[in-house]
Amino acid sequence: MTAWVPLGFPDIRPGADLGATVLEVLARNDLRPQPGDVLVLAQKVVSKAEGAVVQLAEVTPTARAEQLAREAEKDSRLCQVILAESRQILRIRPGLIIAEHRLGFICANAGVDFSNVGLGTDWVTLLPRDPDQSASRLRERIAQAHGVEVAVIINDTHGRPWREGAVGVAIGIAGLEPIYSYIGQEDRYGYVLHSSIESVADELAAAASLLQGQAAEGTPLVVIRGARFTPGGGRTRLLREPERDMFR
């Protein structure tokens, strides 16, 4: 398995044609997509291209946002944006809000983020409106330009219970079954596996995250070749149903 980080990814502004940008960057790096490649693109550039950005100066906080801001010791306008992006707030402590995003992801600040926005100090990015669709559009664009079927993952880094540090996870998926089930397969000694399922999409997202960086690297695109995955799938399906989640 090889993962490349094409260089020279340009600054992305709202309204940018992300598909064209990815094609240009691949071409400039002499990287011709092959069938079975996985393209992993950082959420931040997708959000920016799609205009999923908000200027806090334009936001008027509600009383609920003011209350959240006091509990979390954060800007009340930021809290208003977080509330608007959330189904529910799960945990609060000074400096930290863990929310269930309207798409089901459970992460800090419902994915609302100040870093690498590039529009001014009071601008934040939101998660893309429909990251599976964002992934799907990029996948179609590659198919049109190169005539090959690749998989596309939009990734973000999320913190986790129990373990320190954030890791890359898949928040949008196209052309790949996110889950690989070993259930019913025999192990090396004939024992039939009955519970092993693996989140291939999240593992690919984590592998890409190793190479993307989160500061000034300017490398939001990773191309992974030689990974084993099942084509197809499409929608994320990586979210545990609340009733099956013992840690809510």
Q: Which residues contact 152 (CB under 8 A, 6 or more apart)?
A: 38, 39, 40, 41, 135, 136, 138, 139, 142, 172, 173, 174, 175
In whole angstroms, give the CA distance from residue 58 to residue 43. Answer: 23
By CB under 8 A, name the one of 121, 147, 232, 243 that touches a copy of itself: 121
State in angstroms the smallest separation of the CB of 220 from a copy of itself: 10
76-85 vs 63-72: helix crossing angle, rounded to 10: 110
Q: State how far the Cα of 102 lies from the Cα of 89, in Å rounded to an integer.
A: 11
Q: Which amino acid is at 42?
A: A
DSSP three-state, residue 58: helix
Residue 168 touches a copy of itself, criterion: CB under 8 A: yes
Distance of alpha carbon 23 from alpha carbon 117, whole angstroms: 22
**CA–CA dist 109, 89 (Å, integer):** 9
* 232 lies in the binding site for a copy of itself (CB under 8 A): no
The minimum distance between CB 138 and a copy of itself, in angstroms, equals 21
Over the Cα atoms of the chain, what is R_g?
Answer: 19
Query: Are the beta carbons of 211 and 39 closer than 8 angstroms?
Result: no
What size, in residues, is the chain? 248
Enumerate residues 7-46 that contact a copy of itself by CB under 8 A: 11
Interface map 126-165 toward a copy of itself (x if CB under 8 A) = -------------------------------x--xxxxxx
Q: Which stretch binds a copy of itself (CB under 8 A): 1-9, 29-37, 126-134, 141-149?
A: 1-9
Q: Which of residues 177-216 bind a copy of itself (CB under 8 A)?
A: 178-180, 182, 185-189, 191, 193, 195-200, 202-204, 206-207, 209-211, 213-216
Interaction between residue 166 and a copy of itself (CB under 8 A): yes
245 binds a copy of itself (CB under 8 A): yes
Distance of CA 101 to the CA centre of its chain: 12
Nearer to a copy of itself among residue 137 and residue 205 (C-beta): 205
> Of the two residues 50 and 113, which places its CB atom closer to a copy of itself in the complex?
113
Chosen residue from 116, 125, 134, 136 binding a copy of itself by CB under 8 A: 116
Residues near a copy of itself (CB under 8 A) are 1-3, 11, 91, 93, 95, 98, 106, 108, 114-118, 121, 157, 160-169, 178-180, 182, 185-189, 191, 193, 195-200, 202-204, 206-207, 209-211, 213-218, 227-228, 237-240, 245-248
